[in-house]
A and B are shown apart, each in its own frame.
Chain A
Amino acid sequence: MSIRAFNLHKTFGNYKALDDVSIEVPEGRLVSLLGPSGSGKTTVLRILAGLEFPDRNSGGVVEFHGDDVTNVPAGKRGVGFVFQHYALFKHMTVAKNISFGLRAKPRRERPSKEAIDARVKELLELVQLDGLGNRYPSELSGGQRQRVALARAIASQPRVLLLDEPFGALDAKVRKDLRRWLRLFQEEIKITTIFVTHDQEEALELADEVVIMNNARIAQVGPPQEVYDHPASPFVIEFLGNVNRFTSGVGGPSKAKATEGKGVLYVRPHDVDIQLDESPHEYALRSKIQHIFSAGNYARVTLKRLGYEEPFEAEISRARLRELDLKVGATVSVVFRHVRLFADDRFLESDVREDGRLVEVT
């Protein structure tokens, strides 16, 4: 089931939650809606589910498999929805929760009691909760509740699965396990899936395609690798992980010099290389080491350029750290392997010349 939604506008009172948002999800894909809180991602999801409707007369349309479902109520869209805090029915057992949708069907479509029991058993196995059908939600752990919510959402074989911050309320370890499990699960039942998250790591690891939202609009769409390597705006590059931001004293290749307006240069910490020789080339940045943090896979080195106050960070392997024998207070040369230069929020350049030449950003 493919999903297409276009020209979505949504206002709550004076607050603009969505400003002309369009997204397209091909059949069977796992797509992530990623953005900071208040960016409108949950509103998109709720409009797709039929829990909210686009502003009247704004021209917003939701299509499932080419059929216009904009005005179809939630219960008739064939959508499975998993809520951020699970929204399990607390007074019902796990089995009753899972079978709720089947039991709510009109009499002639409703499966027999035996068929419902069999389906519940099958689903409990699928989400690895065999034998817990008679428990109440309060007797389960967070991860188990999440899987009950998932089983309940897919019990009636929906054509689309929508998940709102599905791992938001879980601790780090369970979160990681569960998202890998969800990936395998989604591949197994091949259901078109959209999930909302504010966690870039989660989005990049799990999704086939990432839709990044900011301020009620879509900032960028693309596969994880692509949005990470080619962020289209300062917002995207800053949102997708740690990045050093320079507004003066460095620049991209010569082209940047000609542009007017404010230029900003971004370098990811893992694209910063530290070298000991006085000057590998003319434009290397002489910097002083402020702090070394070496617990973890990589060592993080905080530096300050000579003559500048703002600190920046380099991420180097621990082997490299040992090899260089870096000490706090030492002066080193810094070279950028890969930069992104923006002027007035427009992307300008991304590569550093062979000679590492950097020009002033005005």
Chain B
Amino acid sequence: MAAILSRVRHDTVPTTNSATTEPTWVRWLLIAVTVGFVTLFLVLPLIAIFFKAFEKGLIPYFATFKHNPAYTPTYNPADAVNSILLTLKIAAVAVPLNLVFGLAAAWAITKFQYKGKSLLVTILDLPFAISPVIAGLIFILIFSRTHGWLGRALKGEGLFSRWIQHIDENIISLKIIFAFPGIALATIFVTLPFIARELVPTMQARGRDEEHAALTLGAGGWRTFFTVTLPNVRWALFYGIILCNARAMGEFGAVAVVSGNLRGQTTTVPIFIEMLYHGYGSDVNAFALATLLALLALVTLVLKNIVEWRVAKSREA
């Protein structure tokens, strides 16, 4: 009896269906290659960051951020704290602006039909396709006081100066490049598509029926937006926000071009890490600061997974 049962089980539960599954060795090879690459390029560097940061113990690690008589770094730790604050401020400007832009763009792309829409969608992806350094240079080209069109025009120089007259002194003296506004602009530029990109597919899949239903039930535009549209896309929106935030805090290339590297003033965390690593501080200091960005990445990944799980759950329902 037992023999029959085991045979039945053996017959009805095929281990490998050769028609639809690759041979065992191919599967193992593919898995091994993937795991190998992930370990080599993602896991090991992450471990290395923490390893290097804590290599000399806890005191040098914390001395990176706070003055400690036991271990004095070659730079002012207050500058490291300032770079963290600057990064937070930049994210605090870039993320909300992208939130507004992302919602507006996703709405414009999914809810209306008009000519040139596909062109708009393509242009929206530009920051993904363009090198961040070029993105930074664009702003130099526009706003630089020595090279930029607008920057020079504001000083009464160059090709475009004759269109600009009677400008308020405060505007002329406003510093954009090598200052906070320039860093914010560059960051906004590189993070622009993140939220819209996440919202568009969700909004497209939802269609317009629920909003039309709200409309026939007498709800106005704002009410419909806040009680119907927004709750429907909330997880996609949250997902877009955390990705946008991670990029805003971690951006190096575009910011490096417009930053000017004024210590403690225009150095964001990634910029400051690079400065520390190249001799301004020690390796320990550089990696200690890098652990913050690594933690940000880990937190982002965890949140992303939670959101994806929630989205999958709400799709089932």
Q: Chain A residues with Cβ under 8 A from B217's Cβ?
A: 75, 100-101, 104, 152-153, 155-156
A138 and B215 contacting across the interface, CB-CB below 8 Å: no
Contact present for A87 and B209 (CB under 8 Å): yes
**Closest CB in chain B relative to A4 CB, distance in Å:** 20
Q: Which of A80, A87, A101, A156 contacts B210 (CB 8 A)?
A: A87
A105 near B: Cβ within 8 Å?
yes
Q: Is B89 an interface residue (CB 8 A)?
A: no
- Tell me the nearest residue of chain B to A152, going by C-beta: B217
Annotate B201-243 by CB proximity to A: 1 below 8 A, 0 otherwise.
0000000011011111111100100011001100000000000
Shortest beta-carbon distance from A161 to chain B in Å: 11
B317 contacts A by Cβ under 8 Å: yes
| B232–A100 CB distance below 8 A | no
A115 at the interface (CB under 8 A from B): no
B113 vs chain A, min Cβ distance (A)? 8
Asked whether, in the complex, the Cβ of A91 is within 8 Å of the Cβ of B223, the reply is no
Whether A75 lies near B219 (C-beta < 8 A) is: yes
Q: How far is the CA of A104 from the CA of B213 in the complex (A)?
A: 12
- Residue contact A105 to B218, C-beta cutoff 8 Å: yes
Q: Is the CB of B212 within 8 A of A75?
A: no
- Chain B residues contacting A138 (CB-CB under 8 Å) are 317
In the complex, how many angstroms separate the beta carbon of B175 from the nearest chain A beta carbon?
46
Q: Interface residues of A, CB < 8 Å — how many?
A: 27
**B216, closest chain A residue (CB):** A81
Q: Tell yes or no: A328 within 8 A of B by CB.
A: no
B residues near A152, Cβ cutoff 8 Å: 213, 217
A90 and B218 form a contact (CB under 8 A): no
Instruction: Output the residue of B209, B217, B232, B317 with the most chain A CB within 10 A.
Output: B217
Q: Interface residue count for B (Cβ, 8 Å)?
A: 18
Q: Cα distance A80–B217 when bound, in Å? A: 7
CB <8 Å contact, B231 and A101: no
Q: How far is the CA of A91 from the CA of B314 in the complex (A)?
A: 9
CB-CB under 8 A for A104 and B218, given A89-B228, A91-B232, A136-B317: yes
Shortest CB–CB separation between residue A111 and chain B, in angstroms? 13
Confirm or deny: A51 has a beta carbon within 8 angstroms of a beta carbon on chain B: yes
Contact A51 B216, beta carbon cutoff 8 Å: yes
Least CB distance, A101 to chain B, in whole angstroms? 4
**Is the pair B218, A76 in contact by a Cβ cutoff of 8 Å?**
yes
A335 within 8 A of B: no
Q: Within 8 Å CB of A91, what residues of B?
A: 231-232
What residues on A are CB-neighbors of B216 within 8 Å? 49-51, 74-75, 79-81, 153
Interface string of A145-169 (1 = CB under 8 A from B): 0000000110110000000000000
Residue of B nearest to A83 (CB): B209
Is A85 part of the binding interface, using a Cβ–Cβ cutoff of 8 Å?
yes
Asked if B317 and A51 make an inter-chain contact with CB atoms under 8 angstroms apart, the answer reads: no
Q: A276-320: contact bitstring with B at CB < 8 Å (1 yes, 0 no)?
A: 000000000000000000000000000000000000000000000
**Bound Cα distance from A100 to B213, whole angstroms:** 10
Output the least CB separation between A135 and chain B (Å): 12
Q: A75-B219, A76-B218, A105-B218 are in contact. Are A87 and B317 (CB under 8 A)?
A: no
Interface residue from B213, B220, B227, B231 paired with A87 (Cβ < 8 Å):
B213
Query: Is A74 in contact with B209, judged by CB distance below 8 angstroms?
Result: no
What's the minimum C-beta distance from B312 to chain A, rounded to whole angstroms? 14
CA distance A153 to B214 in the complex (A): 10
Q: Which of B215, B218, B231 contacts A51 (CB 8 A)?
A: B215
Residues of B within 8 A of A155 (CB): 217
In the assembled complex, the CB of B80 is this many whole angstroms from the nearest CB of chain A, namely: 44
Residues of chain B contacted by A104 (CB below 8 angstroms): 214, 217-220, 223
Closest to A80 in B: B216
Complex CA–CA separation, A75 to B224 (angstroms) = 11
User: Within the assembled complex, what's the spacing in Å between the Cα atoms of A52 and B317?
Assistant: 30
The interface bits of chain A over 31-54 (1 if a CB of B lies within 8 angstroms of the residue's CB, else 0) are 000000000000000000111000
Nearest chain A CB to B139 CB, angstrom units: 40
Give B99 Cβ to nearest chain A Cβ, in Å.
20
**Inter-chain contacts of B219 with A (CB < 8 A):** 75, 100-101, 104
Closest to A109 in B: B218
Q: How distant is the Cα of A90 from the Cα of B229 in the complex, in angstroms?
A: 11
Nearest Cβ on chain A to B186's Cβ, whole angstroms: 37
Instruction: List chain B residues, Cβ under 8 A from A49.
Output: 216
Once bound together, how far apart are the Cα atoms of A89 and B317, in whole Å? Answer: 12
Q: Quick check: A90 and B209 within 8 Å, CB to CB?
A: no
Question: A51: which B residues are within 8 A, CB to CB?
Answer: 212, 215-216
Query: In the docked arrangement, what's the CA distance between A87 and B210, Å?
Result: 5
Closest chain-A Cβ to B315's Cβ sits at a distance in Å of 10
Query: Which residues of chain B come closer than 8 Å to A85, judged between CB atoms?
Result: 209
Whole-angstrom distance between the alpha carbons of A156 and B216 in the complex?
11
Whole-angstrom CA separation of A83 from B216 in the bound complex: 11
Complex interface: chain A residues within 8 A of B223 (CB): 104
Please give me the residue from chain A that is nearest to B316 by CB atom: A138
Q: Which one of A51, A75, A83 has the greatest number of beta carbons of chain B within 10 Å?
A: A75
Give the distance in Å from the alpha carbon of A51 to the alpha carbon of B210 in the complex.
12
- 7 nearest A-B residue pairs (beta carbon): A138-B317, A101-B217, A87-B209, A75-B218, A104-B219, A87-B213, A81-B216
15 example contacts (A-B, Cβ-Cβ < 8 A) are as follows A73-B215, A74-B212, A74-B215, A75-B216, A81-B212, A81-B213, A85-B209, A87-B209, A91-B232, A100-B217, A101-B219, A104-B214, A104-B223, A138-B317, A153-B217
Given contacts A74-B212, A80-B216, A88-B213, could you give 12 more A-B pairs where the C-beta distance is less than 8 Å?
A51-B216, A74-B216, A89-B210, A89-B231, A100-B219, A100-B227, A101-B217, A101-B218, A104-B223, A152-B217, A153-B217, A155-B217
A-contacting residues of B (Cβ < 8 Å)? Answer: 209-210, 212-220, 223, 227-228, 231-232, 314, 317
